[in-house]
């Protein structure tokens, strides 16, 4: 996608965040988020680390967080790595992720993360990866959750409902896909021909 901003631009920094979800053969799920920062110019942060120079195009940050979760979003394992960092001490921050074991991704997720992992002992960039990681977890498990919920005798309202315009309980998507949870007025929502 290109935007016409009316000015010439020179990229100075690029941050790429890539997320993946994997089904494991033991019934659990691995959800990974990878962050890569590069600059278009040479930079230096720590004269004792990386020969005191990070060259243009080299990774300033190259980090990964992996959470192993179950279908209820409970975290069974949490690991991280900081393979490239601007300071040598940064790599120690990855060890703090294991403090997330036992909690669930869901309401209050960000608050629980902040209570368990201090930015003074960890890394802002690793913690920031937890938001897209949570969204990726839901996207990864969605089909399996739907299958599980459909098999239940009394289905609870899916958590995805009322989270966006398309999934509003009053909207057409819900009326068609989850009619038992539709709360709109069928006659008033039809568009004129």
Question: pLDDT by residue (tens digit) across 42-89?
Answer: 999 989 899 999 999 999 999 999 999 999 999 999 999 999 999 999
Boundaries of every domain in the chain: 13-153, 157-193
Residue 193: pLDDT above 80? no
- 8 A C-beta contact, residue 57 and residue 40: yes
Strands (E), the chain: 13-23, 29-39, 59-69, 75-84
- Tokens encoding 161: 């409902």
Give the span between the Cα atoms of 111 and 93, in whole angstroms.
Answer: 19
Give the span between the Cα atoms of 101 and 2, in whole angstroms.
Answer: 41
pLDDT at 191: 53
3-class SS of residue 189: helix
Cα–Cα separations (whole angstroms), residue 115 to 51, 81, 110, 156, 171: 36, 21, 9, 30, 37
The model's confidence at residue 187, banded by pLDDT at 50, 70 and 90, is low
């Amino acid at each position: 996608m290109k935007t016409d901003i009316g000015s010439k631009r020179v990229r100075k920094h690029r941050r790429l965040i890539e997320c993946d979800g994997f089904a494991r053969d033991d019934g659990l799920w691995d959800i990974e988020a990878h962050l890569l920062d590069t600059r278009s110019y040479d930079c230096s942060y720590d004269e004792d680390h990386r020969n005191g120079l990070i060259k243009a195009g080299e990774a300033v940050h190259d980090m990964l967080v992996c959470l192993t979760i179950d279908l209820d979003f409970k975290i069974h394992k949490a690991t991280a790595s900081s393979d490239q960092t601007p300071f040598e001490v940064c790599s120690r921050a990855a060890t703090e992720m294991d403090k997330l074991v036992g909690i669930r991704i869901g309401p209050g997720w960000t608050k629980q993360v902040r209570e368990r992992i201090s930015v003074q002992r960890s890394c802002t960039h690793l913690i920031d990866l937890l938001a897209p990681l949570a969204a990726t977890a839901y996207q990864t498990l969605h089909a399996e959750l739907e299958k599980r919920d459909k098999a239940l005798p009394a289905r609870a309202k899916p958590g995805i409902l009322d989270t966006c315009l398309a999934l509003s309980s009053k909207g057409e998507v819900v009326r068609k896909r989850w009619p038992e949870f539709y709360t709109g007025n069928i006659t008033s929502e039809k568009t004129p021909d």
